[in-house]
Amino acid sequence: MEEDGFFGEKAFQHYCAEFIKHSQQIGDGWEWRTSEDCSDGYMCKTHFQIKNGTVVSHQGTSARVQMCLPMETILHFSVMSKAVVDHDLLEAFSFEALELPLDDSEATETAAATEVIKYEYHVLYSCSYQVPVLYFRASFLDGRPLSLKDIWEGVHECYQPRLQQGPWDTITQQEHPILGQPFFVLHPCKTDEFLTPVLKNSQKINRPVNYVASWLSIVGPVVGLNLPLSYARAASQDE
């Protein structure tokens, strides 16, 4: 899956196709969209989350609590040890949310005491950086959009130290390259730095790894997007 660059657009589309294939198998909601005006496409997903950080259950009988580790710890482990971000690494960091049962009355109280936010996540390929980039937007159910300040304040406390070092270099707002609409974006300037060892090491030991799944499992939790561990297991079983 290599091209002239280390991570080309064809490789990106291949990894996205494999990612979406598994998403369809587990009902995770990811899909591929293309623009009417150009041949470029992107991977996307929409979900709803309560303002305090829990995910809204479709059945209304459970909530999910996000777990995370400091970004510095994750990147140090990935880069310095040149570990493959596969099922072993994901098991160690366990980004997957924990299910906590709620009865109907508790679920009603939770929904009434907080506000539900609609998140729309888009994964695009950056020709400039030759890496995937995570764009997203968020709004309340009445249509009110969240501001950049809201997004910064909503980042989990375990990622706040890194965010405070350079908020504009971490999460900013810019025009969606395909839709031409304002979106928030996780800046991709450090992506190649911490994921190059992942892909190189997987090739060295001849162990398949889905670059998009590995990357998204690291950057997604910063903005409330957590991947089930089955994505890593699926990649290890491919080929």
Residues ≥6 apart with Cβ < 8 Å to 34: 40, 41
Could you give the CA distance from residue 201 to residue 134 in angstroms, rounded to a whole number?
24
Q: Are 237 and 42 in contact (CB under 8 A)?
A: no
Q: Are 35 and 25 in contact (CB under 8 A)?
A: no
Backbone angles phi, psi at 54, to 5 degrees: -95, 155
- 125: enclosing H helix or E strand: strand 116-126
Q: Are 130 and 108 in contact (CB under 8 A)?
A: no
3-state secondary structure at position 100? strand
Amino acid at 233: R
Backbone angles phi, psi at 127, to 5 degrees: -70, -30
- Asked about 189 being catalytic, the answer comes back as yes
Q: How far is CA 81 from CA 73, 76, 92, 233, in A?
A: 12, 8, 14, 21
Q: Are 51 and 114 in contact (CB under 8 A)?
A: yes
Q: Are 80 and 93 in contact (CB under 8 A)?
A: no
Tell me which residues are annotated as active site: 189
